[in-house]
Amino acid sequence: MFKRNTLKRGKVRRNQSRGVALITSLLLLLLLSGMTVAMVISSNSDMLINGYYRGFRGSFYSADSGLTIARQQMINQLMAAGGNKFSATVQPIPPGTETGVVVNVNSTYGTSFQSLNSGQGAYAWPETFKLDTAGTTLSAPTCTVLGGGGTCAAPTGAVT
C-alpha cells in the first residue's frame, strides 16, 4: 500500500507542472536571440562609423600634406628669387616674384590630383590632393620704412 501512494504523488506533481520548464526555456531562447540581434546591429553601425571616420581622417591628412607641399614649394621659390643678396637700398625679393610663384605652384599642383605616395611617403595612406587654383594667392608684403625716407622699393637715408 505504501508504494501506491508514492506513485500517485509523483503523477500529481507531473500534471501540475504543465510545461513551465518548456515556457521558461523558450523565453530564455527568445531573450538570447534578441540580444544577438542587438549585438549584430550594434557592431554593424560601429563598423560604419569607423569606416566614415577612417575616410575623414585620410582626407584630412591628405589635404594637410598637400598644403604643406605647396607651402614649402612657395617658400623654396621665394628664397631662390631673393637669394642671399641683402642690401639696405634694394628690395630682397624682386617685385612680381609672387605672381610667378603662384603661377608655377598652380600649374604644378592645381591642374590634376597629385599622389602623396612617392619618395618617403611611398608606403603611406593612398591619398591624393589638388590645389584650388582660384583660391591660391600670394601677395607682396607691405612694409614701412622706419628711420628714413622713400619707399620700401627704394628707401633713402639711414634705415634703422
Candidates 124, 114, 123, 77; CA nearest to 98 is 77
Residues of the chain short of pLDDT 50, as ranges, are none
Task: State the residue range of the domain holding 50.
Answer: 2-156
- pLDDT score for 57: 83
For residue 150, give the 3-state DSSP assignment: strand
DSSP 8-state symbol, 121: G
- Name the pairing type of β-strands 114-115 and 149-150: unpaired
- pLDDT score for 132: 77
Angle at 79 between CA 138 and CA 102, to 5 degrees: 25
> The C-alpha cell of 107 is what?
600649374
- pLDDT score for 2: 53
- pLDDT score for 32: 96
For the chain, the domain total comes to 1
| Cβ proximity of 100 and 88 under 8 Å | no
